[in-house]
Amino acid sequence: MKIEILPEFSENKPITKKIFSNDNMVVVHFYLKEGQKIPMHSSPSTVIVTVLKGEGNFFIENEENFVSLKLGESYLYKPKQPHGFIA
């Protein structure tokens, strides 16, 4: 399967685009401009984030605990683990 990355940035808010979904997996692209943020939330399944462009801080459990990721880097969140990020 080929996934085409089509940047869809907005000056006003982050853009979320569901790319693929089945019973076992969901692939979502997030498009954020610098300073935009996805608030803390959790997912019932494992979440793998990979930076496809730019960089950001990825929150783990709370906004004071984070990892900084750059182009090509990934991080894995456990099921139900609170997470969010800022570009």
Residue 84 scores a pLDDT above 90? yes
| Whether 20 contacts 26, CB under 8 Å | yes
Nearest residue to 51 via CA among 69, 76, 31: 69
Those residues whose C-beta lies under 8 Å from the C-beta of residue 41, and which sit 6 or more positions away, are: 82, 83, 84
Find the mean pLDDT for residues 28-48.
93
Q: Which pair of structure tokens corresponds to residue 39?
A: 């608030």
| Whether 45 contacts 81, CB under 8 Å | no
pTM above 0.85, yes or no: no
The conformation of residue 19, written as its DSSP 8-state character, comes to E
Find the mean pLDDT for residues 2-17.
78
| Whether 3 contacts 20, CB under 8 Å | yes
Residue 4 scores a pLDDT above 70? no
